[in-house]
């Protein structure tokens, strides 16, 4: 080969390598680990003494704790709808199920297939996409994850307590719980004790199979939603009083006894996080992957830590989540970030990092928070709005949070100095109240004018094998 030709080939290869490296650097992988009903105080790195979460604590030491991270609703379905679409649930008509606070088995309602999810945004940019865990945005064929941008799905269509053993079964006749692989029911009444382990195994396999191309992995664990279930390895050391009662459950579920497995359930979730992080490292993807750990709403069994309120509440404990993010070399290590950030922000932020297109034909409430996560800017949100179902019950702007009932302001808190919402300043800060009321009115008017419908089906059928 002549010297000039050899030089040209070497230059071309070098340019190709630079382009390839550059493209890879601008297209990170994304992993969202999303637990169910885990409270602000249910991580040891957030002060929890009743749990032990060494792998998540390590993740926080290598990344950042987000201490003012909010989900858009205090219950399952609307919170997940907001995560997937980047929109307040009321804007997309997903603030409730068709006749209950969340979607139930065989519900007529589901996330509109016309919505563009975070999975669809990334899939259109060439990402492989998967969800392993709990969906809860519609169980009819039209609403399943594979119709909303996910290449793979393994998991359950809604909360695992929507089954014949629900404690309020006299009021609702729920069918057996279905376990799906993509759009096919593969089991009925799966062993719930093994769900966390099986979900984790699918997540690990997905990473290993897609290590050479960008991917988006969504792991919405069904636990620690009641009833608590734990695989056998994590039952070691549990008091015989508890294990004996569980052996005698028979054709029922002993919710009260299972509540005492909370520490073990969180330990298994922590193990799962470790398995995912270890797999990323083993596959050489550690520094190419953005990982976030959070939950869908406040606790039913666990602890909200210093926060007031629990699941179902628009006090901080219902919607403010202990959250950890990690991306070595990109996210500041060992830092706490107290800027106001929401689950709705992940869609536009991931899109920006992936070089993907955000839908321009609709209003998206989430913001690009990458400058906020890296400490280069404050929150892009002027305000955050707290809904309980369709009712707008509170607003936060800066350090101030205003609660209202039937449109009338009732409580004002300085969250910077009173995270537990204990000292009501409604009578001493009239100008703040007036300013926040104006924000509520502007936002309510905007949602009334700019909203989109959910989707409905006729004659929905319960899933069966």
When pLDDT is cut at 50, 70 and 90, the band that residue 170 belongs to is low
Averaged pLDDT, 132-144 = 98
Of 244, 249, 217, nearest in space to 152 by CA: 217
When pLDDT is cut at 50, 70 and 90, the band that residue 167 belongs to is confident
Residue 20 pLDDT exceeds 60: no
| Whole-angstrom distance, CA of residue 385 vs CA of residue 381 | 10
Mean pLDDT is lowest, of 140-154, 170-184, 370-384, for: 170-184
Averaged pLDDT, 60-76 = 98
> What is the rounded radius of gyration, in angstroms, for the C-alpha atoms of the chain?
23
Averaged pLDDT, 127-135 = 98
Q: Which residue has the higher pLDDT, 13 or 320?
A: 320
Q: Per-domain residue ranges for the chain?
A: 28-382
Within its chain, how far is the Cα of 138 from the centroid? Answer: 16
What pLDDT does residue 171 have? 54
Both structure tokens of 137: 């945005």
> CB atoms < 10 A from the CB of 374, how many?
14
When pLDDT is cut at 50, 70 and 90, the band that residue 168 belongs to is confident
What pLDDT does residue 172 have? 66
| Whole-angstrom distance, CA of residue 221 vs CA of residue 272 | 10
Of 29, 43, 47, 77, nearest in space to 269 by CA: 43
| Whole-angstrom distance, CA of residue 222 vs CA of residue 226 | 9
Q: What is residue 21's three-state secondary structure? A: helix
Whether the Cβ atoms of residue 138 and residue 84 lie closer than 8 Å to each other: no
Phi/psi at 67 (5° precision): -95, -5
Averaged pLDDT, 252-263 = 96
Which segments within 341-399 are labelled E, that is strand? 341-342, 384-388, 391-397
Q: Which residue has the higher pLDDT, 16 or 369?
A: 369
What pLDDT does residue 230 have? 98
Whether the Cβ atoms of residue 423 and residue 81 lie closer than 8 Å to each other: no
- pTM (predicted TM-score): 0.94
Tell me the β-bridge partners of 412: 402
Residue 462 pLDDT exceeds 60: yes
The predicted-structure confidence for 311-356, as pLDDT tens digits, reads as follows 999 999 999 999 999 999 999 999 999 999 999 999 999 999 999 9
Domain 28-382 carries which CATH code?
A: 3.40.720.10
Mean pLDDT over each residue of the chain, to the nearest integer: 94
Within its chain, how far is the Cα of 45 from the centroid? Answer: 19
State the catalytic residues: 76, 136
What pLDDT does residue 8 have? 41
Averaged pLDDT, 371-396 = 98
Averaged pLDDT, 131-137 = 98
Residue 410 pLDDT exceeds 90: yes
Of 353, 273, 260, 343, nearest in space to 301 by CA: 260
Residue 23 pLDDT exceeds 50: no
Residue 59 pLDDT exceeds 50: yes
């Amino acid at each position: 080969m002549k010297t000039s030709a050899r030089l040209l080939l070497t230059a071309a290869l070098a340019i190709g390598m630079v382009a390839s490296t550059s493209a890879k650097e601008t297209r990170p992988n994304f992993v969202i680990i999303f637990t169910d009903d885990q409270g602000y105080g249910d991580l040891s790195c957030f002060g929890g003494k009743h749990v032990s979460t060494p792998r998540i604590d390590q993740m926080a030491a290598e990344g950042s704790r987000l201490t003012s991270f909010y989900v858009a609703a205090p219950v399952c379905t609307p919170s997940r709808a907001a995560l997937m679409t980047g929109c307040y649930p009321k804007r997309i008509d997903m603030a409730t199920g068709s006749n209950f606070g969340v979607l139930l088995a065989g519900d007529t309602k589901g996330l509109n297939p016309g919505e563009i999810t975070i999975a669809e945004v990334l899939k259109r940019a060439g990402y492989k996409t998967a969800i392993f865990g709990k969906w809860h945005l519609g169980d009819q064929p039209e609403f399943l994850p594979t119709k909303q941008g996910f290449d793979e799905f393994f998991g359950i269509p809604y909360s695992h307590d929507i089954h014949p053993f629900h404690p309020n079964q006299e009021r609702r006749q729920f069918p057996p719980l279905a376990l799906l692989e993509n759009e096919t029911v593969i089991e009925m009444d799966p062993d719930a004790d093994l769900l966390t382990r099986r979900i984790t195994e699918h997540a690990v396999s997905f990473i290993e199979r897609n290590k050479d191309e960008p991917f988006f992995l969504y792991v919405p664990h069904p636990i620690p939603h009641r009833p608590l279930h734990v695989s056998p390895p994590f039952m070691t050391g549990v008091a015989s009083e508890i294990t004996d009662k569980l052996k005698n459950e028979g054709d029922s579920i002993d919710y009260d006894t299972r509540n005492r497995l909370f520490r073990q359930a969180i330990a298994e979730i922590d193990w799962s996080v470790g398995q995912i992080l270890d797999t990323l490292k083993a596959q050489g993807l550690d520094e190419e992957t953005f990982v976030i750990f959070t939950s869908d709403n406040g606790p039913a069994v666990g602890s909200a830590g210093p926060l007031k309120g629990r699941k179902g509440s628009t006090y901080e404990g219902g919607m403010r989540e202990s959250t950890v993010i990690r991306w070595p070399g990109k996210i500041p290590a060992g830092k706490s970030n107290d800027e106001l950030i929401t689950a709705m922000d992940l869609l536009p932020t991931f899109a920006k990092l992936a070089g993907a297109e955000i839908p321009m034909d609709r209003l998206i409430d989430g913001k690009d928070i990458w400058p906020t996560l890296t400490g280069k800017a404050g929150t892009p949100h002027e305000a955050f709005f707290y809904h309980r179902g369709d009712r707008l019950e509170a607003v936060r702007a800066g350090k101030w949070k205003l609660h209202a009932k039937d449109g009338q302001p009732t409580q004002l808190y300085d969250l910077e100095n009173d995270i537990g919402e204990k000292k009501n300043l409604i009578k001493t800060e009239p100008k703040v109240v007036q300013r926040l009321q104006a924000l509520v009115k502007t936002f309510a008017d905007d949602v009334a004018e700019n909203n989109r419908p959910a989707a409905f089906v006729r004659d929905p059928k319960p899933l069966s094998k």
